[in-house]
């Protein structure tokens, strides 16, 4: 099966009903998306497909064949983080960090389609994402920081 | 106590009356005030808390020729920011840039044995005058001596900065002095440490060194450990509590793709497949027959049930005049507080990787204690412990003993059975149904007031239910996997009545409220002024596994104490803050109470707000839907490990019963602040975790099994939730010892919210969580 993950074409040999998460973790050795519940309830396995933050633990791999799949690794690197990742660093918006695929990618998907989200819209986008270290305040601040920075540079584009 | 078996260890730890500070000093080669006999149970309890860390500089530090410092620590990063704080500590003591410090965390055979990273003990043990801090200070003095010889200049004429020792224009680097060589030097108790007033690295908000890797998905968690030849296991837990295995039909999964093996050991069952998804499907398909155990006690009457069980009783303090003083008091107030089982509920279910060969084993584990995991896992494997290596690998935040240790046994057993490296991650249900829950509590309080409303006597009697716990160095049966594989949990031996209190006062579980003197043998160790005091703890057997959950027992006791203190203040018609201050004598506890009250702009008046005491129906008639109120709570965590107070502001919707927490203002004093932003992050997370536990979290069960097994049935709140404003006041007490901080704010949150609900509504809700149904029932009865 052919996939496009973080801009690279990847061929994998798996049962096509396998949830995307296990393909990303075990076949492609990606660390970003994580198994939290396997039920689509927590967000730790989140990836972006066609601009939408989706739950890879309940998405069969065949459903995303041919689509561009972006994991947390696909945004930036430790040396050159994506602006939303930089915003999380600035706000120190994590503790254990296990939930970050859900928090960052749900935040990015929201802001990319709605550059000036209201507080309520941010809450809505993160209404299915859990962080049990409860870094909520800083995470919301980081998403707002990303949105503000993105808006500030929009006119230059 | 000599000759006591390991099986009594859990009880001995709970009964231990020696303070953690005393343990620390005994372990830190500073003051040995009592003998530490490793053959007795108390000695073993100490060992589990603090381990037996190296007494030599080389056990803690190495400096390479390029000046890079490698520090070895037995206290690990579990999301609390400790990697960064310890790097700051080493950088500070050695005068090197923090970026030049690398930490090796928790690997058996490589790092010091510091027991478990738990109990808010990392700062007390590694940032005071022992262990890692003392290693840094000893090394710095040794390096200055070497530089003195090298440069031919007395030490007092040398300066050191960024790992370079200078005398005017001449200089020598650490790398040149010691690079690649051993110090061969014992930790020096006289080594002079950097005072917080001199700090340039500690005391600053150094950003988390691991954050760039975390936010970009590069950090390797244990879930991402990939060993060549690794296959995937999944466990099959019993369907009900207490069920035992009758038979397993291997053929039910034997023809599924990727099949390797069905593994059975006593009641332990697991499957091993080539791929993870195959193992997950097979675990669901496997046909196993189980014999059900006895029915569980009904949840509806569980708190009353606890009172009927045989108990192991401990008196923390007993002035022996409580009944007399209650009898002669102008008023006696009685109340019972109820706290449910709650779970760690890590966002990632627990995972481990094991590579067990015929004569050796390597375990990649998110355990909080690699040496206890090594020793107990060796028992599970039937292998000498020196053949087992445990490598700490980051997990999902644990908040105490989640599934980290038990899944390490799972991986070890499955790997041993198939002779290949095996990765195991628990299902959400297996994590939630079988983890070691935080304890359920019933607390009866009685308080006597004199004619002026002052407290003249305080009586506490509590029942808490326990089973198993941390495995320590020799009790794998304290965890579900060890038990299923044939080991027993710590034995339970009832003991009633309790023996008289003995030994020095300690308040490690916050059994003793802040407002009494905490006296033993005429010496007061508590923080308050009330002399007439009796605190009796009754431990009973739990049907479910239990273990330390963030602020274990301290939270349950503090909920009961701080709400009851509010009840006494209300009965005395006194302002809750003024009333607390009236009964406190510890200046630092008084300090945090005043600081939070000031920051919250606390209005001095008794609770409840008078206009809010109208019946709910009347308020609805008047068009009032949301009643607002504020509450205060405070604690000296563990009796000696960090001060915290909190003001909560809430709104109670009297139509729906929903409680909205609008604002939390905290004040913390944990001694010198290592990293201001780091402690704020912990205080904020702890406070919101406390809100979740106060409003939503409760383990549920039916007559045979746990029924709170996912995020629909065990409630918490998501990142997108209407969270309170958080404000943290840090009191940086630079001449005090370093205390823990990460468990302080969560300890007071439920009580502060409960007191605010009372202020808002005049209703005292004495059972957690404060659910809308519970609130509505109380509002309806009003």
In three-state secondary structure terms, B104 is strand
Q: Is the pLDDT of residue B316 over 80?
A: yes
Q: Is the pLDDT of residue A15 over 80?
A: yes
Q: Can you say how many angstroms the Cα of residue B233 is from the centroid of all Cα atoms in its chain?
A: 29
B441-467+498-781 CATH pick, 3.40.50.300, 3.40.50.2300, 3.30.365.10, 3.30.230.10? 3.30.365.10
| CB spacing of A133 vs B275 below 8 angstroms | no
CATH 1.10.3720.10 assigned to domain A83-156? The reply is no
Q: Is the pLDDT of residue B319 over 70?
A: yes
Q: Where are the alpha helices (DSSP H) in B667-720?
A: 676-695
b/e burial code for range B27-37 (CB count within 10 A of at least 16 → b): bbbeeeeeeee
B232-271, pLDDT tens digit by residue? 999 999 999 999 999 999 999 999 999 999 999 999 999 9
The pLDDT value recorded for residue B625 is 83
The torsion defined by the Cα of B382, B384, B389 and B393, in degrees rounded to 10, comes to 40
Q: Average pLDDT for residues A67-96, to the nearest whole number? A: 98
B428 lies within 8 A of chain A by CB = yes
Backbone angles phi, psi at B390, to 5 degrees: -115, 125
The pLDDT value recorded for residue B18 is 40
Architecture of domain B227-293+344-434: 2-Layer Sandwich (3.30)
Tell me which of B206, B208, B215 to substitute to probe the interface with A (most A C-beta atoms closer than 10 Å).
B215
The pLDDT value recorded for residue B11 is 33
- Of residues B158 and A152, the one with the higher pLDDT is B158
Contact B176, B182 (CB under 8 A): no
Q: Average pLDDT for residues B576-589, to the nearest whole number? A: 98
Chain B residue whose CA is closest to A45: B348
The pLDDT value recorded for residue B620 is 65
Q: Which helix (H) or strand (E) holds B567?
A: helix B554-571
B267-307, pLDDT tens digit by residue? 999 999 999 999 999 999 999 999 999 999 999 999 999 99
Measured distance CA(B190)–CA(B174) in Å, rounded: 21
Contacts of A14 in chain B (CB under 8 A): 275, 277
pLDDT band at residue A152 under the 50/70/90 scheme = confident
Q: What percentage of chain A has pLDDT greater than the value 70? A: 97
> Residue B346: CB partners within 8 Å, gap ≥ 6?
A98, A132, B395, B396, B397, B398, B399, B402, B403, B431
The pLDDT value recorded for residue B20 is 44
pTM above 0.90, yes or no: yes
| CB spacing of B208 vs A92 below 8 angstroms | yes
The pLDDT value recorded for residue B716 is 98
| CB spacing of A88 vs B276 below 8 angstroms | no
The pLDDT value recorded for residue A151 is 80
Beta bridge partners of B72: B104
Question: Do B441-467+498-781 and B227-293+344-434 fall under one CATH topology?
Answer: yes
Nearest to B376 by CA among B415, B414, B406: B406
Question: DSSP letter string over chain A?
Answer: -EEEETTEEEE----TTSBHHHIIIIIS--SSS--S-SSSSS-TTEEEETTEEEEGGGSBGGGGTTSEEE-GGGT--SSS--HHHHHHHHHT--SS-TTHHHHHHHHHHHHHH-SS--HHHHHHHTTT---TT--HHHHHHHHHHHHHHHHHHGGG-
| CB spacing of B349 vs A35 below 8 angstroms | yes
Assign domain A2-74 to a CATH class: alpha beta
Measured distance CA(B781)–CA(B64) in Å, rounded: 71
Considering only residues 40 to 99 of chain A, which have any Cβ-Cβ distance to chain B shorter than 8 Å? 41-42, 44, 71-73, 75-79, 81-82, 85, 88-89, 92, 94-99
> Residue B73: CB partners within 8 Å, gap ≥ 6?
B60, B86, B103, B104, B105, B106, B111, B112, B114, B126, B132
Q: Is the pLDDT of residue B19 over 80?
A: no
Contacts of A56 in chain B (CB under 8 A): none
B333-354, pLDDT tens digit by residue? 999 999 999 999 999 999 999 9
Measured distance CA(B305)–CA(B293) in Å, rounded: 19
What ranges do the domains of chain B cover? 54-201, 227-293+344-434, 441-467+498-781
| Min distance A156 CA to chain B CA atoms (Å) | 26
Q: What percentage of chain B has pLDDT greater than the value 90? A: 90
B725-760, pLDDT tens digit by residue? 999 999 999 999 999 999 999 999 999 999 999 999
Q: Is the pLDDT of residue A155 over 90?
A: no
Q: What percentage of chain B has pLDDT greater than the value 70? A: 92
Instruction: For residue A2, give both structure tokens.
Output: 């052919």
Assign domain B54-201 to a CATH class: alpha beta
Write the ipTM: 0.97
What ranges do the domains of chain A cover? 2-74, 83-156
Q: Average pLDDT for residues B64-78, to the nearest whole number? A: 97
Nearest to B645 by CA among B730, B718, B705, B541: B730
Nearest to B460 by CA among B448, B472, B470, B451: B448
Q: Is the pLDDT of residue B324 over 50?
A: yes
pLDDT band at residue B50 under the 50/70/90 scheme = confident
Give chain B's mean pLDDT: 93
């Amino acid at each position: 099966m052919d996939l496009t993950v973080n801009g690279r074409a990847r061929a994998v040999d798996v049962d096509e009903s396998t949830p995307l998460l296990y393909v990303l973790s075990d076949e492609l050795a990606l660390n970003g998306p994580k198994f939290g519940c396997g039920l689509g309830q927590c967000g730790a396995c989140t990836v972006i497909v066609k601009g939408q933050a989706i739950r890879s633990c309940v998405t069969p791999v065949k459903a995303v064949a041919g689509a561009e799949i972006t994991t947390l690794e696909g945004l930036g690197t430790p040396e050159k983080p994506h602006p939303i990742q930089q915003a999380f660093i600035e706000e120190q918006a994590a503790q254990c960090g296990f939930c970050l695929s859900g928090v960052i990618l749900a935040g990015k998907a929201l802001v990319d389609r709605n550059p000036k989200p209201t507080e309520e819209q941010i809450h809505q986008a993160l209404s299915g994402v859990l962080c049990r270290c409860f870094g909520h305040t800083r995470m919301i601040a980081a998403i707002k920081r990303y949105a503000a920075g993105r808006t500030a540079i929009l006119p230059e584009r | 106590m000599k000759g006591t078996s390991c099986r009594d260890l859990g009880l001995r730890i709970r009964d231990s009356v020696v303070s953690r500070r005393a343990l620390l000093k005994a372990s830190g080669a500073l003051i040995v005030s009592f003998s530490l006999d490793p053959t007795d149970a108390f000695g073993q309890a100490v060992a589990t808390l603090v381990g037996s860390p190296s007494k030599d500089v080389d056990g803690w530090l190495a400096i390479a020729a390029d000046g890079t410092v490698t520090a070895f620590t037995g206290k690990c990063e579990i999301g609390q920011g400790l990697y960064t704080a310890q790097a700051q500590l080493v950088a500070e003591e050695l005068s090197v840039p923090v970026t030049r410090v690398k930490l090796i965390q928790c690997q058996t055979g490589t790092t010091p044995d510091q027991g478990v990273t738990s109990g808010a003990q990392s700062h007390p043990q590694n940032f005071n005058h022992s262990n890692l801090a003392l290693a840094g200070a000893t090394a710095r003095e040794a390096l200055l001596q070497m530089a003195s010889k090298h440069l031919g200049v007395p030490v007092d004429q040398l300066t050191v900065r960024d790992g370079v020792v200078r005398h005017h224009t001449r200089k020598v680097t650490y790398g040149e002095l010691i690079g690649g060589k051993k110090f061969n030097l014992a930790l020096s108790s006289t080594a002079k440490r950097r005072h917080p007033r001199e700090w340039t690295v500690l005391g600053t908000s150094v950003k988390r060194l691991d954050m760039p890797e975390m936010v970009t998905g590069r950090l390797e968690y244990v879930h991402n450990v990939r060993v060549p030849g690794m296959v995937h296991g999944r466990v099959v837990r019993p369907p009900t509590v207490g069920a035992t295995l009758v038979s397993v039909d291997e053929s039910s999964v034997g023809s599924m793709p990727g099949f390797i093996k069905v593994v059975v050991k006593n009641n332990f069952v697991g499957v091993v497949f080539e791929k993870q998804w195959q193992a997950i499907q097979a675990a669901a398909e496997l046909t196993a027959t189980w014999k059900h155990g006895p029915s569980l006690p009904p949840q509806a009457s569980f708190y009353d049930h606890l009172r009927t069980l045989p108990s192991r009783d401990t008196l923390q303090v007993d002035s022996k005049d409580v009944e007399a003083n209650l009898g002669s008091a102008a008023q006696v107030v009685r109340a019972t507080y109820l706290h449910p089982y709650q779970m760690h509920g890590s966002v990632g279910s627990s995972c481990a990787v094991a590579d067990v060969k015929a004569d050796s084993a390597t375990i990649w584990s998110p355990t909080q204690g690699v040496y206890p995991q090594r020793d107990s896992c060796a028992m599970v494997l039937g292998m000498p412990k020196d053949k087992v290596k445990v490598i700490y690998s980051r997990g999902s935040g644990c908040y105490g003993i989640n599934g980290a240790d038990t899944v390490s046994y799972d991986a070890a057993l499955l790997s041993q059975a198939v002779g290949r490296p095996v990765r195991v991650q628990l299902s959400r249900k297996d994590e939630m149904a079988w983890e070691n829950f935080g304890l359920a509590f019933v607390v009866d309080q009685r308080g006597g007031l004199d004619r002026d409303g002052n407290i003249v006597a305080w009586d506490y009697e509590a029942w808490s239910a326990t089973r198993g716990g941390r495995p320590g160095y020799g009790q794998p049966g304290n965890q579900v996997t060890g038990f299923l594989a044939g080991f027993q949990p710590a034995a339970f031996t009832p003991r009633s009545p309790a023996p008289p209190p003995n030994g020095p006062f300690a308040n490690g579980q916050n059994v003793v409220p802040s407002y009494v003197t905490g006296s033993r043998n005429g010496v007061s160790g508590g923080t308050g002024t009330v002399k007439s005091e009796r605190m009796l703890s009754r431990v009973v057997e739990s049907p479910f596994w239990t273990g330390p959950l963030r602020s274990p027992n301290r939270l349950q006791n503090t909920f009961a104490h701080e709400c009851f203190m509010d009840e006494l203040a209300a009965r005395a018609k006194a302002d809750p803050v003024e009333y607390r201050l009236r009964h406190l004598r510890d200046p630092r506890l008084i300090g945090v109470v005043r600081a939070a009250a000031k920051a919250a702009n606390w209005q001095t008046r008794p609770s409840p707000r008078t206009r809010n005491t109208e019946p709910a129906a009347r308020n609805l008639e008047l068009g009032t839907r949301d009643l607002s109120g504020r509450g205060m709570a405070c604690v000296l965590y563990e009796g000696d490990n960090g001060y915290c107070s909190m003001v909560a502001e809430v709104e109670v919707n009297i139509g729906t019963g929903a409680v909205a927490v609008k604002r939390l203002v905290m004040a913390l004093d944990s001694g010198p602040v290592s990293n201001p932003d780091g402690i704020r992050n912990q205080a904020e997370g702890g406070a919101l975790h406390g809100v979740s536990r106060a409003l939503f979290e409760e383990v549920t069960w039916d007559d045979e099994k746990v029924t709170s097994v996912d995020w629909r049935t065990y409630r918490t709140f998501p990142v997108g939730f209407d969270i309170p404003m958080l404000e943290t006041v840090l009191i940086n007490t630079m001449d005090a010892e370093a205390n823990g901080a990460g468990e302080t704010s969560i300890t007071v949150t439920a009580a502060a919210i409960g007191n605010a609900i009372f202020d808002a509504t005049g209703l005292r809700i004495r059972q957690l969580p404060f659910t809308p149904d519970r609130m509505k029932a109380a509002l309806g009865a009003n």
